[in-house]
C-alpha cells in the first residue's frame, strides 16, 4: 500500500503522533506470507464506541470498570464505562496524548503528551488532572511497575527513558537507550523493563533496581509495541516490517519470529498467556497468535487504523483504539471452559446444594450423561440441587462446554448417606444377623 492513509483535515493534523513516529524510520509494508489459517476461536467485535479525535492508547482499570483512551488530536482522554460501553467523562490533558497507564491500585492514570513533553496525572476517582510532569522530548509510551513505585516513559525524540516516582510525581532518573525508543513493558516481577528502539531494530533491557541497561536484543525491522507474558518468560515485540519477535527473557535473545502481516503497531497478551493480540494499522484488523505454537490463528476486522489494544484482567474483552474512525472496538474473547469442584456429601431427605466452579467465555453449559441420586438435578450453570431420596455412592462425569474446544470435564463422586453414618456409606440394612 502506497501513500498516506491519513485524510486531509483542517486544524490539528490527524494521527500526529503516528506520523511523527513514521518520519523517523519509514514504515515497511509487506503482504501476508500466506493465507490466514482457520480460527481456533471465534472472537468477535460486539460493540463500537465513539470517543475523541484520533484515539491511540488504552488502559483498563484493575477492577475492569473503566477504559481510559487517549485522543491525540483533541488533546483529551475518554473514559469508557465497560458495563455500558459508553463514554462517561472526557478529560482535557496535554498536547498530543499518545499513551496511558494506570497504577496497580487503580488510583491514578499517567498520560504521555507527545507534543508538549509532559505527562498528565489523572485522579481516577474524580477524573481530574492533579499534576503535570515535565519529561524528555516526545514522550511516547508509559508502563508502571507491579508494585507501583516506578513509571517508565519512553521519549521518541531523544533516545532516553524517564523514571517517575508516582508517590511524588517527580522524575528520579533518566536512562539512555536505543533510538528512537517507542514501546515499553515491565516484567511481572518488576525487575526489568523492555524498551523497543524503532530505528535501531532492537530492544533495550533495563534493570529497574539500578535503572541501567543490561542488554540490547536485536529484533526485526522497526520494533514498536512490546508485551510480556504473565509468567515473565517471553516478550513479544511487533515489528513494522510484518513480524513479531519472541524474546526469551531468561537469555534475552530472540527464540522465535512469527510472520503476521503488514504495518504492525501495538500488542497485548491475554491474562492466561495463551494468546497475543496485535494491531495492524493499515489492515484494519487485529491478528491473534497462539503462544503454545507461536502461530497465527485468527484475524479480527476492527475499525480504521487500529493502534492501541488492551485486554481486561478477566481475559474476556479486548479493546482496540481505531485512530481514524475515532472509535474503540470491543472484542469478546472466546475462552475454552474449565470446571472444578468436589461435591459435598448429602443426607436423604435433607435439602442439598453444591455449585461447581465454572469459567469460560461464552458462559459454558454444564451437563452430565450419568445418573444422579434420585431427587437431585444438575443445572446448566453447574449447580447440583434438590432433596436426595436414596443413599449410595454415585460416580459421575461432568462436562462444561461453550463451543470453544476443548470441552472441560471432571470426574467426581456424590455420596448420599444417612446422618448417623457421618459421611460414609452404611452397610446393607437387609441383613437379619445370626
Contacts of 86 (CB under 8 A, 6+ apart): 49, 80
Share of the chain above pLDDT 70, in %: 87
Q: Which of 133, 110, 48 is nearest to 329 (CA)?
A: 48
- Whether the per-residue pLDDT at 249 is higher than 50: the answer is yes
* CA distances from residue 213 to 23, 217, 427 in whole angstroms, order as listed: 26, 11, 71
Rounded average pLDDT over 186-192: 98
Backbone angles phi, psi at 72, to 5 degrees: -70, -25
Among 11-15, 268-272, 337-341, the minimum mean pLDDT is found in 11-15
Share of the chain above pLDDT 90, in %: 83
Contacts of 295 (CB under 8 A, 6+ apart): 37, 258, 289
- Whether the per-residue pLDDT at 318 is higher than 90: the answer is yes
Counting DSSP H helices and E strands in the chain, the numbers are 1, 36
Distance CA 35, CA 33 (A): 7
Rounded average pLDDT over 317-344: 96
Grid cell locating 58: 488504552
Report the chain's mean pLDDT, rounded to a whole number.
89
Grid cell locating 30: 509487506
* Measured torsion, CA atoms of residues 304, 308, 309, 312, in degrees rounded to the nearest 10: -120
Rounded average pLDDT over 278-282: 95
Q: Which of 118, 84, 97, 22 is nearest to 52 (CA)?
A: 97
Distance CA 158, CA 181 (A): 8
What single string gives the DSSP state of each residue in 136-191? SSSEEEEEE-TTSS-EEEEETTTTEEEEEETTTTEEEEEEE-SSSEEEEEE-TTSS
Rounded average pLDDT over 147-168: 97
- Whether the per-residue pLDDT at 103 is higher than 70: the answer is yes
> What is the pLDDT, as a whole number, of residue 335?
85
Specify the pTM: 0.82
Q: Encode pLDDT of 20-57 as tens digits.
A: 443 333 333 333 333 333 334 568 999 999 999 999 99
Grid cell locating 382: 453447574
Helix (H, G, I), strand (E, B) or coil at 20: helix
* CA distances from residue 62 to 107, 143, 311 in whole angstroms, order as listed: 10, 14, 11
* CA distances from residue 166 to 103, 147, 183, 191, 277 in whole angstroms, order as listed: 8, 11, 20, 17, 29
Distance CA 212, CA 243 (A): 28
- Whether the per-residue pLDDT at 321 is higher than 50: the answer is yes
Rounded average pLDDT over 137-159: 97
pLDDT bin (cut points 50, 70, 90) of residue 4 is very low
> What is the pLDDT, as a whole number, of residue 262?
85
pLDDT bin (cut points 50, 70, 90) of residue 405 is confident
Distance CA 142, CA 119 (A): 9
Distance of CA 2 to the CA centre of its chain: 31
> What is the pLDDT, as a whole number, of residue 42?
64
pLDDT bin (cut points 50, 70, 90) of residue 421 is low
Helix (H, G, I), strand (E, B) or coil at 342: coil
| Strand residue runs (E) in 231-272 | 234-239, 243-248, 253-259, 264-269
Bridge partners of residue 154, in order along the sequence: 161
Grid cell locating 106: 487503580
Q: Which run of H or E residues covers position 103?
A: none
* Spatial contact of 373 and 392, defined as CB atoms under 8 Å apart: yes
Bridge partners of residue 361, in order along the sequence: 335
Distance of CA 337 to the CA centre of its chain: 19
Amino acid at each position: 500500500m502506497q501513500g498516506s492513509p491519513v485524510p486531509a483535515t483542517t486544524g490539528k493534523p490527524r494521527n500526529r503522533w503516528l506520523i511523527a513516529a513514521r518520519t523517523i524510520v519509514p514504515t515497511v509494508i509487506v503482504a501476508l506470507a500466506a493465507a490466514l489459517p482457520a480460527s481456533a476461536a471465534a472472537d468477535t467485535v460486539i460493540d463500537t464506541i465513539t470517543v475523541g479525535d484520533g484515539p491511540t492508547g488504552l488502559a483498563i482499570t484493575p477492577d475492569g470498570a473503566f477504559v481510559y483512551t487517549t485522543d491525540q488530536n483533541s488533546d483529551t482522554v475518554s473514559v469508557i464505562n465497560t458495563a455500558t460501553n459508553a463514554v462517561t467523562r472526557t478529560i482535557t490533558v496535554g498536547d498530543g496524548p499518545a499513551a496511558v497507564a494506570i497504577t496497580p491500585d487503580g488510583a491514578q492514570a499517567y498520560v504521555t503528551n507527545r507534543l508538549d513533553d509532559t505527562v498528565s496525572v489523572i485522579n481516577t476517582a474524580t477524573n481530574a488532572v492533579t499534576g503535570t510532569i515535565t519529561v524528555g522530548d516526545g514522550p511516547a509510551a508509559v508502563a508502571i511497575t507491579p508494585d507501583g513505585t516506578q513509571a517508565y516513559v519512553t521519549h521518541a525524540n531523544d533516545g532516553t527513558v524517564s523514571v517517575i516516582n508516582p508517590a511524588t510525581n517527580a522524575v528520579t532518573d533518566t536512562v539512555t537507550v536505543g533510538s528512537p525508543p517507542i514501546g515499553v513493558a515491565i516484567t511481572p516481577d518488576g525487575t526489568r523493563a523492555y524498551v523497543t528502539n524503532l530505528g535501531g531494530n532492537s530492544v533495550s533491557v533495563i534493570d529497574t533496581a539500578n535503572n541501567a541497561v543490561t542488554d540490547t536484543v536485536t529484533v526485526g525491522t522497526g520494533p514498536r509495541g512490546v508485551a510480556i507474558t504473565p509468567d515473565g518468560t517471553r516478550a513479544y515485540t511487533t515489528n513494522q516490517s510484518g513480524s513479531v519477535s519472541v524474546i526469551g527473557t531468561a537469555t534475552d535473545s530472540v527464540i522465535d519470529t512469527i510472520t503476521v502481516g503488514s504495518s504492525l503497531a501495538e500488542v497485548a497478551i491475554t491474562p492466561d498467556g495463551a494468546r497475543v493480540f496485535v494491531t495492524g494499522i493499515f489492515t484494519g484488523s487485529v491478528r491473534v497468535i497462539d503462544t503454545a505454537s507461536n502461530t497465527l490463528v485468527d484475524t479480527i476486522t476492527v475499525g480504521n487504523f487500529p493502534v492501541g489494544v488492551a485486554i481486561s484482567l478477566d481475559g474476556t474483552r479486548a479493546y482496540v483504539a481505531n485512530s481514524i474512525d475515532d472509535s474503540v472496538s470491543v472484542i469478546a474473547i472466546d475462552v475454552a471452559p474449565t470446571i472444578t469442584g468436589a461435591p459435598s456429601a448429602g443426607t436423604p431427605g435433607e435439602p442439598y446444594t453444591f455449585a461447581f466452579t465454572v469459567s469460560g467465555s461464552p458462559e459454558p453449559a454444564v451437563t452430565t450423561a450419568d445418573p444422579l441420586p434420585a431427587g437431585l438435578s444438575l443445572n446448566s450453570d453447574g449447580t447440583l440441587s434438590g432433596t436426595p431420596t436414596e443413599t449410595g455412592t454415585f460416580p459421575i462425569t461432568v462436562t462444561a462446554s461453550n463451543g470453544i474446544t476443548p470441552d472441560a470435564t471432571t470426574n467426581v463422586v456424590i455420596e448420599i448417606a444417612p446422618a448417623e453414618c457421618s459421611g460414609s456409606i452404611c452397610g446393607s440394612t437387609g441383613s437379619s444377623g445370626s
